[in-house]
Amino acid sequence: MNAAPPMMNRPAAILSSTLLSCLLLTSCSSMKMPAFLRNPSSEAVVYALGPRDGFTSPLNGSLKPACPALVFENADFQLTSAHQQAVNSLAQEMIQNKKARLLVAGYTAPNLPPDHARSLSERRALAVRQRLIELGLEAANVQTVGFGNDFSPTGPSSDVVVIYRQN
Amino acid sequence: MNARALLFILTLVVCHGTQAEAGVMDRLRGLLSFGGGKSKTEEPKKIMPRIRVGSFSGGTGASAQQALRQELLDSREFFVAGADEKADYLVEGTSSGGRVTGKLRDGKGKDLFQRSYAAPGLDENLKALTDDVIYTITGRPGLATSRIVFVSNVSGKRQIYICDAEGGEVHQVTHDKHGAVAPSLSPDSSMIAFTSYRSGFPIIRLLDLNVGWERGVTDTPGSSFGSAFSPDGTHLAAVMSFIGNPEIFVSDLNTNTAACVSDSVGAPSSPSWHPDGRQIVFSSDDGDGPKLYIVEVPQKEGESSRLYRWRTGYHFCTDPEWSPDGRHIAFTTRTSGEWTVAIKSYPNGGVQVVQAGGAEHPSWSPNGHFITYVQHGELFVHDLRSGNRRSILRGYGHISEPRWMR
């Protein structure tokens, strides 16, 4: 006859599992997050910006947008599927011309604190640049600028990233 | 409460405690201290020194005596005694043609200083004398000669302006082609660092207010903004993005070299130095709204530094600025959907809402008694001791990003 395995009583089981999770959680600050939980974008290779010589600012002349403006909502800087789609089509078009250069400019709505707005708009512009490079554009040919809410772009929304074609 | 619920709460408290952050522990301390007694940060009430304005001889002596008495009263640093009252200090002197010579003595008759002031106006000379009297007696800088820089679009473009602590003597500082924003005054208020759009791209420039020369600090690709002078004026903290990420950099103004001190995956902004020059507080948005972080500035090459989140209890925090004594941080947050200026004791302590209803971008006065901020494009000075505030500049376009000289 088989003997029943020894069972831990219920309160002791709860106590030991809580202590175990407590220990795990307290060591979180020194533990590296497992790869499958990490945000893939935070681990991606970040491409430094090349020299800006020869690039024209939209403040100095009327530049032609390379595609419709990418509208951001909820003060976010992650690219949505709509953004990805627009950037993919642009990359397919641009990749034919190896000399083509783009300036990715970020703008935000006027109701954000100015310095935060500058950083957020630059972060969005860099996210778009990163995606363009991942899709095959040369890093040296894509520059960014974050105008925050210091300047408003033309168009119905001001919380946007506009990709300008450079001559 | 059952045992499981109690253990869960304990787990939460332990987790937060080990992260060396404020937050839950602070709130618990706050709850525990409601029972009574003084909070740790509360200072004992200080007795104001008594000062008497003695006679001023010379052609403009009578006006000088009267105006100096008013300046000292307005400073709220002293009890200004009447002619026949006993005082701890006596200030007297001469004034003719607007020039002023002031002498400060203590109660025993010992000379503390004697100085002459020969600026073009009587008012200016008396403000300088007032600040010297305040500094000699209290050890804190006075406000009479202090300046506030700010951004206004009154000319049609955003440009940088400077005014005195009462909103007077407003001067336009920059005339850049596409505008200039994000000003910061050096500790001796001789230089302004700002973000210039003159090339069409945001770069940081330095302007010497005394001699008028200007030079670029950064002309790196991407964006550069949010500059803040170190307390000794030799370094500049700023956000730069040329490495492909916006990060906080510290530039040595003598060698023109820069070191990255942050490690952000988001959008950092608005660095501000601790008065000891060893720590920087900044705001960073990692995707769930901007929060405040503190980073230790390495003092030697290769030295590691600690970077940690500083919890305020609010989800949206920007524009932090350390108080001149390093014991508080003022910042912009959002309450009931509107911008709010708040102060939190550093490293731990409660949060005090200074002004809600659209107030933003706080900056401390050099003596730490006042805060300036903007509310709906108007410039305010808020007395932290009395809670009173007044608008010092209105109808001057839309004012933003004020910074008081440190």
Identify the CATH homologous superfamily for domain B50-138. ABC-type transport auxiliary lipoprotein component (3.40.50.10610)
Residue A37 is predicted with a pLDDT of 44
Token look-up 């730490």 returns B368
Q: Which residues of B touch A118 (CB under 8 A)?
A: 182, 195, 202, 223, 225-226, 239, 269
Asked if B246's CB is within 8 angstroms of A145's CB, the reply is no
The dotted CATH code for A68-166 is: 3.30.1330.60
Residue A14 is predicted with a pLDDT of 59
Q: Residues A165, B243: contact at Cβ < 8 Å?
A: no
Residues of chain B with CATH 3.40.50.10610: 50-138
Averaged pLDDT for residues A51-55? 93
Q: Give the percent of chain A with pLDDT over 90.
A: 59
Q: Is B31 exposed, middle or buried (0-12, 13-18, 19+ CB in 10 A)?
A: exposed
Chain A: closest CA distance from residue B43 (Å): 33
Per DSSP bridges, beta strands B89-96 and B50-57 are parallel
pLDDT tens, position by position, B50-98: 999 999 999 999 999 999 999 999 888 899 999 888 999 999 999 999 9
pTM (two decimals): 0.81
Q: Residues B258, B251: contact at Cβ < 8 Å?
A: yes
Residue A8 is predicted with a pLDDT of 52
Residue A19 is predicted with a pLDDT of 52
In whole angstroms, what is the distance from residue B128 CA to residue B144 CA? 7
Query: Is pLDDT at A142 greater than 90 in this prediction?
Result: yes
Q: What band does A15 get if pLDDT is binned at 50, 70 and 90?
A: low
Q: Pick from B225, B245, B339: which is nearest to A118 by CB?
A: B225
Residue B304 is predicted with a pLDDT of 79
Asked if A146's CB is within 8 angstroms of B201's CB, the reply is no
DSSP state of B141: -
Residue A90 makes CB contacts below 8 A (sequence gap 6+) with A66, A67, A132, A163
Asked if A47's CB is within 8 angstroms of B11's CB, the reply is no
Residue A13 is predicted with a pLDDT of 61
Averaged pLDDT for residues A87-101? 91
Chain A: closest CA distance from residue B182 (Å): 7
Chain B: closest CA distance from residue A93 (Å): 24
Give the count of Cβ contacts less than 8 A between chain A and B. Answer: 151
Asked if B243's CB is within 8 angstroms of A119's CB, the reply is no
Q: What phi-psi label fits residue B340: left (phi over 0), alpha (psi between -120 and 50 degrees) or beta?
A: beta
Asked if A78's CB is within 8 angstroms of B243's CB, the reply is no
In whole angstroms, what is the distance from residue B265 CA to residue A77 CA? 11
Asked if A118's CB is within 8 angstroms of B269's CB, the reply is yes
* pLDDT < 50 stretches in chain B: 1-44
Residue A26 is predicted with a pLDDT of 40
Query: Is pLDDT at A136 greater than 50 in this prediction?
Result: yes
Residue B45 is predicted with a pLDDT of 54
Q: Pick from B244, B269, B290: which is nearest to A48 by CB?
A: B244
Averaged pLDDT for residues A71-80? 90
Chain B: closest CA distance from residue A4 (Å): 28
Chain B residue closest to A26 (CA)?
A: B15
In whole angstroms, what is the distance from residue B266 CA to residue B263 CA? 9
In whole angstroms, what is the distance from residue B152 CA to residue B167 CA? 13
Chain B: closest CA distance from residue A83 (Å): 17
A48 contact B CB<8A: yes
Dihedral sign computed on CA atoms, order B18, B23, B26, B30: negative
Q: Which residues of B touch A130 (CB under 8 A)?
A: 244
Identify the CATH homologous superfamily for domain B147-404. TolB, C-terminal domain (2.120.10.30)
Q: Which residues of A touch B270 (CB under 8 A)?
A: 113, 115-116
Residues of chain B with CATH 2.120.10.30: 147-404
Q: Respond yes or no on whether ipTM tops 0.90.
A: no
The domain ranges of chain A are 68-166
Q: At what angle do helices A81-94 and A114-134 cross, to 10 degrees?
A: 50
A145 contact B CB<8A: yes
In whole angstroms, what is the distance from residue B185 CA to residue B206 CA? 10
CA A158 to chain centre: 18
Residue A158 is predicted with a pLDDT of 87
> Could you tell me where the beta strands, DSSP code E, fall in A55-141?
70-71, 101-106
> Could you tell me where the beta strands, DSSP code E, fall in B177-256?
180-185, 191-196, 203-208, 214-216, 224-229, 235-240, 247-252
What would the two tokens of residue A141 be? 């040919």
Q: Examine residue B324 and say whether the peptide bond preceding it is cis (omega within 30 degrees of 0).
A: no
Asked if A120's CB is within 8 angstroms of B242's CB, the reply is no
Q: What band does A46 get if pLDDT is binned at 50, 70 and 90?
A: confident
> Could you tell me where the beta strands, DSSP code E, fall in chain A?
70-71, 101-106, 142-146, 160-166
Residue B219 is predicted with a pLDDT of 83
Q: What phi-psi label fits residue B239: left (phi over 0), alpha (psi between -120 and 50 degrees) or beta?
A: beta
Asked if A51's CB is within 8 angstroms of B246's CB, the reply is no
Q: Which residues of A touch B246 (CB under 8 A)?
A: 119, 122-123, 126, 146
Q: Pick from B195, B221, B290: which is nearest to A51 by CB?
A: B221
In whole angstroms, what is the distance from residue B93 CA to residue B65 CA? 9
Q: Residues B382, B370: contact at Cβ < 8 Å?
A: yes
In whole angstroms, what is the distance from residue B355 CA to residue B340 CA? 6
Residue B303 is predicted with a pLDDT of 79
In whole angstroms, what is the distance from residue B172 CA to residue B163 CA? 9
Is the pLDDT higher at A45 or at B347? B347
Query: Is pLDDT at A83 greater than 90 in this prediction?
Result: yes
Residue A148 backbone phi and psi in degrees, to 5: 55, -130
Q: What band does A61 get if pLDDT is binned at 50, 70 and 90?
A: confident
pLDDT tens, position by position, B290-336: 999 999 998 877 777 899 999 999 999 999 999 999 999 999 999 99
Q: Pick from B11, B200, B401: which is nearest to A114 by CB?
A: B401
Q: What band does A36 get if pLDDT is binned at 50, 70 and 90?
A: very low
Q: What band does A9 get if pLDDT is binned at 50, 70 and 90?
A: low
Chain B: closest CA distance from residue A42 (Å): 6
Average model confidence (pLDDT) across chain A: 81
